[in-house]
């Protein structure tokens, strides 16, 4: 029987679980290598879930849950890791979703990511976006970049997260981690003041709204390296999403601003790895060349996919190119490749080449 948060940490560590879900009326479910498994524990009663999770909340978090029906927070256990937790109401009872975050930030080399990505850590300024759906490893990729900077450069790094996920120890860099809702009321509010805190590098957990995106662009424009995430699945969609957030009257100005400050877009998804029974990423990479900056400025983003395809010498690749290489390396199956291809017909040609 799972009764305390310590039991959850033991379960995640023993089973290698990335996520745990508690819903009344069924046993807890865990995700291992992207696959859901119903555990052998007893079905959870509503009061059991309340008894586990409500004591973890501050008074403010409990009020947020009562008012909105949702609350996000994180808890940690020394030497093991942290859980990012969402508690929410469904059918009048509480459910909880937990994401396990290991204590140690993985080395970049362990992530099977293209080497071009770690080169973003050397940039003195500009905007780098890591995008993808939920659970595709965006936070881990960003954490590995921050840790690389931490090991190699004497910078002041500020992270803005909701909630804090990976925790960092000061090495060559000085790192401050600010949790939205605890240390600042919002991403936008924190960003308005952050330039007075003399950061070299900013990590923004999620660019959610117009005000946050606008502040991030301004921070990148004023000489900071800004690393941020979006829930988009391609470079083209990422550019369009940023522009479309703004009113039509501002979009021309934003295209110009984005075309100047953007330094890279990394879009990723995860597959079951056939070689080591783990997860392996497929990654689209766009590096803004002068031609790509012109396309963004002139609202011709439909041309970007072709420009990424022809930019392999600069480290660029489309998602379908990345997926086809995983098939060639025997890391994923042909069926998985075709099911996840952005252009299935082009994928067939890539796999036949």
Q: What CATH number does the domain containing 124 carry?
A: 3.40.50.300
Give the pLDDT confidence score for residue 14 in this predicted structure: 86
Tell me if 349 is assigned to some domain: no
Give the pLDDT confidence score for residue 1 in this predicted structure: 66
Q: What is the 3-state secondary structure of 253-264? A: HHHHHHHHHEEE
Q: Which long-range contacts (CB under 8 A, 24 or more apart) does 150-156 make?
A: 150/175, 152/121, 153/121, 153/200, 155/200, 155/201, 156/197, 156/198, 156/199, 156/200, 156/201
Tell me if 333 is assigned to some domain: no
Report, as an integer, the average pLDDT of 2-16: 85
Residue 109: C-alpha distances to residues 16, 105, 106 (Å):
20, 12, 8
Considering the domain architecture, whether residues 54 and 156 belong to the same structural domain is answered as no
Report, as an integer, the average pLDDT of 183-187: 92
Domain interval for residue 43: 5-102
Q: Is pLDDT of 5 > 90?
A: no
Considering the domain architecture, whether residues 199 and 297 belong to the same structural domain is answered as yes
CB of 283 within 8 A of CB of 138?
no
Tell me if 292 is assigned to some domain: yes
Tell me if 32 is assigned to some domain: yes
Give the pLDDT confidence score for residue 347 in this predicted structure: 94
Binning pLDDT at 50, 70 and 90, where does residue 9 land?
A: confident
Looking at 71, 102, 133, the residue that finishes a domain is 102
Considering the domain architecture, whether residues 273 and 192 belong to the same structural domain is answered as yes
Considering the domain architecture, whether residues 60 and 190 belong to the same structural domain is answered as no
Average pLDDT, the chain: 94
Considering the domain architecture, whether residues 114 and 90 belong to the same structural domain is answered as no
Tell which residue, 151, 157, 160, has the closest CA to residue 118: 151
Number of domains in the chain: 2
**pLDDT, tens digit, 9 for 90 and up, residues 132-169:** 998 899 999 999 999 999 999 999 999 999 999 999 99
Considering the domain architecture, whether residues 188 and 217 belong to the same structural domain is answered as yes
Give the pLDDT confidence score for residue 160 in this predicted structure: 97
Give the pLDDT confidence score for residue 261 in this predicted structure: 98
Considering the domain architecture, whether residues 217 and 261 belong to the same structural domain is answered as yes
Tell me if 342 is assigned to some domain: no
Q: DSSP string covering 290-337, please? A: HHHHHHHHTT-GGGHHHHHHTTGGGT-B-HHHHHHHHHHTTSS-HHHH
Q: Is pLDDT of 96 > 80?
A: yes
The residue with greater pLDDT, 80 or 337, is 337
CB of 43 within 8 A of CB of 25?
yes
Considering the domain architecture, whether residues 130 and 91 belong to the same structural domain is answered as no
Q: Which long-range contacts (CB under 8 A, 24 or more apart) does 13-21 make?
A: 13/80, 13/81, 17/100, 18/99, 18/100, 18/135, 19/97, 19/98, 19/99, 19/100, 19/135, 20/97, 20/98, 20/100, 21/95, 21/96, 21/97, 21/98
**pLDDT, tens digit, 9 for 90 and up, residues 274-308:** 998 889 999 999 999 999 999 999 999 999 999 99
Considering the domain architecture, whether residues 79 and 116 belong to the same structural domain is answered as no
Give the pLDDT confidence score for residue 52 in this predicted structure: 93
The strand order across the sheet containing 279-286 reads 174-179, 156-161, 201-204, 225-230, 126-131, 262-272, 279-286
Report, as an integer, the average pLDDT of 86-110: 94
CA dist., res. 70 & res. 96, Å (int):
10
Percent of the chain exceeding pLDDT 70 equals 100
CA dist., res. 159 & res. 125, Å (int):
16
Q: Is pLDDT of 170 > 90?
A: yes
Considering the domain architecture, whether residues 18 and 133 belong to the same structural domain is answered as no
CA dist., res. 7 & res. 41, Å (int):
12
Considering the domain architecture, whether residues 216 and 283 belong to the same structural domain is answered as yes
Both structure tokens of 150:
């931490």
Binning pLDDT at 50, 70 and 90, where does residue 122 land?
A: very high
Q: Is pLDDT of 319 > 90?
A: yes
Looking at 102, 120, 137, the residue that finishes a domain is 102
Give the pLDDT confidence score for residue 18 in this predicted structure: 93
Q: What CATH number does the domain containing 18 carry?
A: 3.30.450.90
CA dist., res. 146 & res. 168, Å (int):
9
**pLDDT, tens digit, 9 for 90 and up, residues 21-54:** 999 999 999 999 889 999 999 999 999 999 999 9
Looking at 102, 123, 141, the residue that finishes a domain is 102
Considering the domain architecture, whether residues 98 and 120 belong to the same structural domain is answered as no
Measured N-to-C along each axis, helices 210-221 and 187-194 cross at an angle, to the nearest 10 degrees, of 20
């Amino acid at each position: 029987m799972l009764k305390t948060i310590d039991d959850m940490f033991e379960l995640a560590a023993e089973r290698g679980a990335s996520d745990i879900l508690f819903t009344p009326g069924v046993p807890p479910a865990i995700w291992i290598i992207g696959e859901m498994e119903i555990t052998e524990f007893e079905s959870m009663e509503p009061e059991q879930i309340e008894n586990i999770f409500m004591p973890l909340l501050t008074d403010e978090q409990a009020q947020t849950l009562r008012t909105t029906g949702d609350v996000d927070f994180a808890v940690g256990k020394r030497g093991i890791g942290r859980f990012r937790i969402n508690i929410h109401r469904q059918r009048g009872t509480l459910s909880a979703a937990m994401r396990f975050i290991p204590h140690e930030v993985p080395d970049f080399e362990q992530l099977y990511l293209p080497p071009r990505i770690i080169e973003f850590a050397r940039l003195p300024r500009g905007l780098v976006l890591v995008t993808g759906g939920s659970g595709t490893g965006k936070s881990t990729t960003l954490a590995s970049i921050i840790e690389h900077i931490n090991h190699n450069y004497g910078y002041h790094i500020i992270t803005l997260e909701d909630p804090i996920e990976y925790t960092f120890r000061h090495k060559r860099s000085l790192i401050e981690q600010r949790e939205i809702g605890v240390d600042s009321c919002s991403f936008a509010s924190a960003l308005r003041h952050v330039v007075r805190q003399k950061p070299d590098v900013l990590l923004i957990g999620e660019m959610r709204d117009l005000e946050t995106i606008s502040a991030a662009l301004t921070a990148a424009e004023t000489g900071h390296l800004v690393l941020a995430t979006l829930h988009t699945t391609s470079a083209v969609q990422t550019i369009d999403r940023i522009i479309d957030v703004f009113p039509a009257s501002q979009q021309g100005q934003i295209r110009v601003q984005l075309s100047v400050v953007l330094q890279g877009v990394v879009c990723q998804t995860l597959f079951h790895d056939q070689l080591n029974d783990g997860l392996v990423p497929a990654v689209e990479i766009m590096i803004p060349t002068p031609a790509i900056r012109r396309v963004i400025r002139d609202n011709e983003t439909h041309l970007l996919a072709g420009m990424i395809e022809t930019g392999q010498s600069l480290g660029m690749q489309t998602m379908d190119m990345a997926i086809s290489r995983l098939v060639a390396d025997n890391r994923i199956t042909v069926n998985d490749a075709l099911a996840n291809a952005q252009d299935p017909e082009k994928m067939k040609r890539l796999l036949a080449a």
